[in-house]
């Protein structure tokens, strides 16, 4: 597909060698012919005007016109009266997809977890915030800036975390990053630099956590999760001196770390001089229970809280933060500077303006209503079509887990649902081989509307009522 360049005549890279025995006209023809054959200039793409290309190359306009005429006669370009000369040739494809390669079709209804409603992104509010940020930015804001991130955003985020999450937050303890993944990578690198060698992860847990730990050159230890959250007694039996947890809404089970377990976890961190990495990923969306405060507010010297706007606004913004103990902050800044010299400042200023203006809170209130309605649709659909299923993890966020009877073949169920164009994920996908558990499927409802939820559950009701077994 050709890009339609607007405005002035587009540029094209052509090199002419005036020391060569080959004429300039022949060189120009060969250069353009080669660019078209190699696909650097694609079918339908506009070429520079003869006047513009002649001026760029320091040759006569007549030489360029004669080149275009020659290429047109060969079928490479086509000249349009009163308009531009455009490429009229598509090179033959030299590579093809192997005949046995099957590209999976996108499900018609996808219960993918962890994806917010992308259609509800507050585009007008974000455009307003970007305009305000650009209008009020100082000349200094257009430089590289503070490695920790824009002071304005750090001040706003610190206030927000204190107000909404009960955190103990100061602007100087925050490092702005590009979402949770980078925040976790920076933290793990900082921990490695401080002597940590092993990091515990929840099991079942987020698929990316063990990979992040290994990429940081550390060893992951898998710790079981039960109906009260992370089993701290099991954690104490590992060699880990750091742990990654999702205490407000565990991924994927949805359980909330109980008050007793929270205290046990923080006591463990104090006893071993360890660090708890708190993934605060969807705490803004709670339904039946009061919000759970951040662990960091109870032990700021032992907890790194990492948050982002990937679930509240959109993953594409790539904006997040790490609130860390003061002794770790210099390591985080050093790693951030080494990684990318800082998150885009104008985006940071726009987010700060969005939060300060109250538009961010307004968006959250609206999305809580949206997700609550979808949650209710899922609960009602399961109750109607598979009433014996146990649906857990509904207190917060926008995913839930349906526990299935012992002996269920999760993979067979998911595969059959895919044949019906319904996307599901098996609970076993989140477990390590060392900790098998009850079978189940994960239902994400963030980016699936209510009619689709009801239709999707109805489509696979027989699979949920009588799921395939491992012996069948």
Does residue 379 share a domain with residue 294? no
DSSP 118-183: GGG--HHHHHHHHHHHHHH--GGGGS---TT--HHHHHHHHHHHHHHH-----GGGEEEESHHHHH
Structure tokens at 207: 């698929």
Side-chain-side CA neighbours of residue 21 (13 Å): 0
Pick the more confident residue, 218 or 90.
218
Out of 46-60, 117-131, 214-228, 416-430, pick the least confident: 46-60
User: What percent of the chain lies above the pLDDT cut of 70?
Assistant: 94
Pick from 167, 166, 163, 137: which is nearest to 152 by CA? 137
Q: Is the pLDDT of residue 164 over 70?
A: yes
Q: How far apart are CA 373 and CA 356, in angstroms?
A: 28
Does residue 382 share a domain with residue 326? no
Does residue 459 share a domain with residue 336? no
Q: What is the CA radius of gyration of the chain?
A: 28
Largest Cα span, the chain: 85
User: What percent of the chain lies above the pLDDT cut of 90?
Assistant: 66
Does residue 138 share a domain with residue 226? yes
Task: Give Cα 167 to chain centroid, integer Å.
Answer: 24
Pick from 290, 288, 283: which is nearest to 312 by CA? 283
Range list of H helices, 325-437: 329-340, 345-356, 359-385, 410-419
- Asked if residue 472 belongs to a domain, the reply is no
pLDDT of residue 101: 52
Q: Is the pLDDT of residue 406 over 60?
A: yes
Q: Is the pLDDT of residue 454 over 90?
A: yes
Q: How far apart are CA 314 and CA 270, in angstroms?
A: 36
- Asked if residue 40 belongs to a domain, the reply is yes
Q: How far apart are CA 65 and CA 44, in angstroms?
A: 19
- Asked if residue 205 belongs to a domain, the reply is yes
- Asked if residue 104 belongs to a domain, the reply is no
Q: Is the pLDDT of residue 236 over 80?
A: yes
Does residue 287 share a domain with residue 151? yes
Task: Write down which residue in 360, 383, 399 finishes a domain.
Answer: 360
Q: What does the pLDDT average to over 223-249? A: 95
Does residue 159 share a domain with residue 238? yes
CATH classification at residue 407: 3.90.1150.10
Contact 464, 424 (CB under 8 A): no
Task: Give Cα 51 to chain centroid, integer Å.
Answer: 46
Sheet holding 425-426, edge to edge: 390-392, 399-403, 440-444, 425-426
User: What is the domain range of residue 214?
Assistant: 122-360
Q: Is the pLDDT of residue 94 over 50?
A: no
CATH classification at residue 173: 3.40.640.10
Does residue 373 share a domain with residue 408? yes
Does residue 311 share a domain with residue 193? yes
Task: Write down which residue in 360, 384, 402 finishes a domain.
Answer: 360
Q: Is the pLDDT of residue 243 over 80?
A: yes
Does residue 331 share a domain with residue 386? no
Q: Is the pLDDT of residue 285 over 90?
A: no
Average pLDDT, the chain: 90
- Asked if residue 324 belongs to a domain, the reply is yes
Residue 159: burial class (beta carbons within 10 Å; 0-12, 13-18, 19+)? middle
Polymer length of the chain? 472
pLDDT of residue 54: 87
pLDDT of residue 471: 76
- Asked if residue 471 belongs to a domain, the reply is no
- Asked if residue 17 belongs to a domain, the reply is yes
> Can you say whether residue 217 is alpha, beta or left, with left for phi > 0 and alpha for psi between -120 and 50 degrees?
left
Pick from 339, 104, 310, 341: which is nearest to 208 by CA? 310
pTM for the predicted model, two decimal places? 0.82
Structure tokens at 388: 């014996």
Pick the more confident residue, 290 or 390.
390
Place of tokens 């690198």: 189
pLDDT of residue 396: 84
Q: Mind listing the pLDDT tens digit for each residue in 2-15?
A: 565 555 566 788 88
Task: Write down which residue in 317, 336, 360 finishes a domain.
Answer: 360
Pick from 258, 135, 274: which is nearest to 194 by CA? 274
Return phi, psi of residue 202, to 5°: -70, 145
Does residue 431 share a domain with residue 395? yes
Integer CA distances (angstroms), 188 to 79, 302, 315, 354, in order? 58, 14, 22, 30
Q: Mind listing the pLDDT tens digit for each residue in 304-356?
A: 999 999 999 999 999 999 999 999 999 999 999 888 888 999 999 999 999 99
Does residue 352 share a domain with residue 298? yes
Pick from 222, 261, 260: which is nearest to 238 by CA? 222
Does residue 234 share a domain with residue 179? yes
If one counts the domains in the chain, the total is 3
Q: How far apart are CA 147 and CA 343, in angstroms?
A: 9
Q: Mind listing the pLDDT tens digit for each residue in 54-93?
A: 888 888 999 988 988 888 888 888 887 667 788 888 776 5
- Asked if residue 218 belongs to a domain, the reply is yes
């Amino acid at each position: 597909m050709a890009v339609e360049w607007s405005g002035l005549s587009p540029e094209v890279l052509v090199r002419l060698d005036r020391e060569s025995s080959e004429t300039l006209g022949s060189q120009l023809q060969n250069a353009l012919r080669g660019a078209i054959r190699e696909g650097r200039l694609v079918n339908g793409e506009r070429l520079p005007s003869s006047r513009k290309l002649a001026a760029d190359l320091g040759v006569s306009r007549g030489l360029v016109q004669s080149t275009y005429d020659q290429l047109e006669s060969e079928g490479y370009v086509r000249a349009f009266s009163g308009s531009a000369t455009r490429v009229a040739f598509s090179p033959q494809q030299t590579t093809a997809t192997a005949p046995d390669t099957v590209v999976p079709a996108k499900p018609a209804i996808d219960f993918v977890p962890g994806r917010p409603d992308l259609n509800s992104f507050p585009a007008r509010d974000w455009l307003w915030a970007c305009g305000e940020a650009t209008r009020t930015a100082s000349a200094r804001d257009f430089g590289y800036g503070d490695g920790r991130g824009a002071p304005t955003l750090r001040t706003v985020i610190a206030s927000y975390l204190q107000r909404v999450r009960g955190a103990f937050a100061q602007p100087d303890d925050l490092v702005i990053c590009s979402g949770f993944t980078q925040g976790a990578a920076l933290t793990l690198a900082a921990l490695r630099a401080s002597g940590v060698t092993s990091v515990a992860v929840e099991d079942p847990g987020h698929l990316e956590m063990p990979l992040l730990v290994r990429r940081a050159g550390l060893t992951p230890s898998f710790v079981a999760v039960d109906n009260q959250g992370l089993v701290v007694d099991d954690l104490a039996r590992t060699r880990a001196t750091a742990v990654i947890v999702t205490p407000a809404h565990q991924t994927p089970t949805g359980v909330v770390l109980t008050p007793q377990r929270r205290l046990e976890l923080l006591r463990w961190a104090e006893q071993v001089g360890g660090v708890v990495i708190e993934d605060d990923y969807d705490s803004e969306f709670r339904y039946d229970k009061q919000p759970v405060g951040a662990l960091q507010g109870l032990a700021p010297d032992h907890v790194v809280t990492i948050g982002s706007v990937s679930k509240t606004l959109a993953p594409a913004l790539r904006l997040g933060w790490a609130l860390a103990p003061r002794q770790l902050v210099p390591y985080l800044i050093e790693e951030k500077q080494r990684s990318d010299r800082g998150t885009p400042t104008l985006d940071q200023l726009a987010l700060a303006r969005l939060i300060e203006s109250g538009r961010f809170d307004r968006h959250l209130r609206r999305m809580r209503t949206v997700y609550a309605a979808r949650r209710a649709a899922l609960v009602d659909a399961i109750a109607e079509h598979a009433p014996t299923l146990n649906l857990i993890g509904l207190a917060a966020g926008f995913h839930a887990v349906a526990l299935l009877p012992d002996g269920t073949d999760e993979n067979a169920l998911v595969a059959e649902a895919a044949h019906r164009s319904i996307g599901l994920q098996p609970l076993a996908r989140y477990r390590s081989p060392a900790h098998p558990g009850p079978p189940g499927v994960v239902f994400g409802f963030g980016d699936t509307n209510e009619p689709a939820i009801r239709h999707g559950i109805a489509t696979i009701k027989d699979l949920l009522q009588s799921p395939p077994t491992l012996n069948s």
